[in-house]
Amino acid sequence: MKVAYITETWPPALNGAALAAARVVSHLRKRGHGVELIRPRLHMEDAGDTDTVTVPTMSVPMCADLRIGMPVGQHLIKRWRAARPDVVHVATQGPLGWSACNAARALDIPVTSDFRDRFDAPGGKVVAPLLRAYLRGFHNRTACTFVPTDEVAGQLSEQGFRNLVVSGRGVDTVAFSPYYRSESLRRHWDAIGPVVLYVGRLSEEKNLSALLDAYAAIRVAEPSARLVLVGEGPMRDVFEERCPDAIFTGHLSGSMLSACYASADMLLLPALAEGFGNVTLEAMASGLPVVAYDMGAAAMHIRNDVNGITVVPGDQYAFVRAAVALACDEPLRERLGAAACQTARAASWEHILMDFEQTLYANCASQSTASIGACPA
C-alpha cells in the first residue's frame, strides 16, 4: 500500500498518541508499505526526510505548551495529484487532520481515522455540543474510525458515530519488564517502604486530587511509603507543597523509564478521562499491580483482585481505600504484580498492528468513497 499518515503529534512529544503514531508508521514501513508521514514541524530546522512532510504549527488556546499543525489542504491536493496514496489515515482531528480529510475527499481517496480519547467533551453547555457535532461530522465522513476500547465505541455509537472499529494498544514487553528493577535506584529514592508510582502529566484533567488523597492516606497507614512522580505539568507546584518528600523525575523515556516502573511497588492511575491509558500495560509488564478506575486499558486487562485492583469510575473513596490496602500488603502486591506481568505478555503489539493493517487494506480495495460525503467545510 501507499499510505498517507497524518498526525498532529510526534516524538519527541511524550504522550501516548505520539508514541502510538510512531509505532504504527514503523510497523507499516517494516512491512514494506510506502508511508508518507505528514506531521507538524517540530522546530525551525526540522525539514523531515524524503518520506516526511512537515507543516507549520500554531499554539492551542489555554495550552501554551501544546502546538498543532496548520491546515494545508491545497498543498496536499497538489501533492496527492502528483503521487496518489491508496489510503489516507488521519490520526488526529485538529486543523491539519481536517484539511487532510478534505483533500482526500476532493480526490476520492479512501480515508480512515482515529478517535483515541474518551468521549468527554469539555466546555460546558455551549461548547460541548458544538465540539461533539464537529467530531461526529468529521469521523462519519471517513470510511471507518479506530477506537481504543469497547467502552469508547459504545459511547460514540450512542452519540451517532458510525463505522467504528475497536483497535486497542499493546505493550513492548522487552522495553518494560521486572528485569529492570534497580536496587541502586531505590536507594537513590531512599525507599525504605513501598514505592507508589504515578506516570503521566501533572495536570487537573488527570484527576490528581484522587492521587493526592490516596497518598496522604497511605502515609498515615504506612509512613515509610515514598511517592515517585514521572512527568511534568502545571500541578507540580501543588504536589511540591502537599508532598514535599515526593520524588520528581520529570519526563523520562527509554531505560530510565523502564527502571522507574520496575523499581516501584505499585502504580496509581487516577484518571477518569483516558481513552486507553498506555501506562497501565507498561506498569503491568514491569510487574506492578495497578489501582485504577474500571475503564480504558484497566477495564480491558485488569481482573479485580487477580492481577490488579479496579474500582467504580468516580468513586474516589474506593480508589483511596484500595490504594491504602495495596500499600500495606506486600504479599498482595507480589501476587497481583506477578499475575499482571503474565497478562501483559499476552498483549502483543504485533496482533493489534496486523489487524490495523488489514483494515487499511480493506479500505484500499473500495473503488470509491464518494457516497460517504465530503468533510465539513
Domain range list for the chain:
2-169+349-372, 178-345
Q: For residue 179, what pLDDT is reported?
A: 96
Fold match flag (2-169+349-372 vs 178-345): yes
Residues 6+ apart with CB under 8 A from 369: 105, 108, 109, 110, 111, 143, 363
pLDDT at 371: 41
What integer pLDDT is reported at residue 373 of this predicted model? 46
Residue of higher predicted confidence among 199 and 59 = 199
The domain made up of 178-345 is a member of CATH 3.30.70.360:
no
Poorest-pLDDT segment among 19-23, 335-339, 345-349 = 345-349
Helical segments of 144-267, H only: 150-158, 183-188, 208-221, 236-242, 254-263
Q: For the chain, give the mean pLDDT.
A: 88
Mean pLDDT of 9-21: 81
Q: How confident is the model at residue 65 (pLDDT cuts 50, 70, 90)?
A: low
Q: Which residue has the cell 519527541?
A: 12
State percent of the chain over pLDDT 90: 67
Which pLDDT does position 17 carry in this prediction? 79
| Dihedral of the alpha carbons of 201, 203, 209, 210, in degrees to the nearest 10 | -30
How large is the average pLDDT for residues 37-48?
77
- Whether 67 has a pLDDT exceeding 90, the answer reads no
Q: Which residues pair with 196 in a beta bridge?
A: 227, 266
pLDDT tens digits along 102-131: 999 999 999 999 997 655 544 445 557 888
Mean pLDDT value of segment 167-179: 90
pTM for the structure as a whole: 0.73
pLDDT of 370 over the 50 cut: no
Q: 330: alpha, beta or left, given left = phi > 0 and alpha = psi -120 to 50?
A: alpha
Q: Is 290 exposed, middle or buried (0-12, 13-18, 19+ CB in 10 A)?
A: buried
**Max avg pLDDT among 93-97, 152-156, 306-310:** 306-310
What integer pLDDT is reported at residue 368 of this predicted model? 45
In terms of Cα–Cα distance, which of 224, 322, 316, 317 is closest to 267?
A: 322
Select the more confidently predicted residue: 131 or 229. Answer: 229
The pLDDT of residue 193: 95
Report pLDDT for 369. Answer: 42
Query: Stretch 338-345: mean pLDDT, rounded?
Result: 94
> Residue 118 has which C-alpha cell?
474518551
| Range with lowest mean pLDDT among 64-78, 144-158, 197-211 | 64-78
Q: What is the CATH number of domain 2-169+349-372?
A: 3.40.50.2000
Q: Find the DSSP H helices in the chain.
A: 16-30, 73-82, 95-106, 124-140, 150-158, 183-188, 208-221, 236-242, 254-263, 278-285, 296-301, 316-327, 330-345, 349-364
pLDDT of 11 > 50? The answer is: yes
Which contiguous run of DSSP H or E holds residue 55? strand 52-55
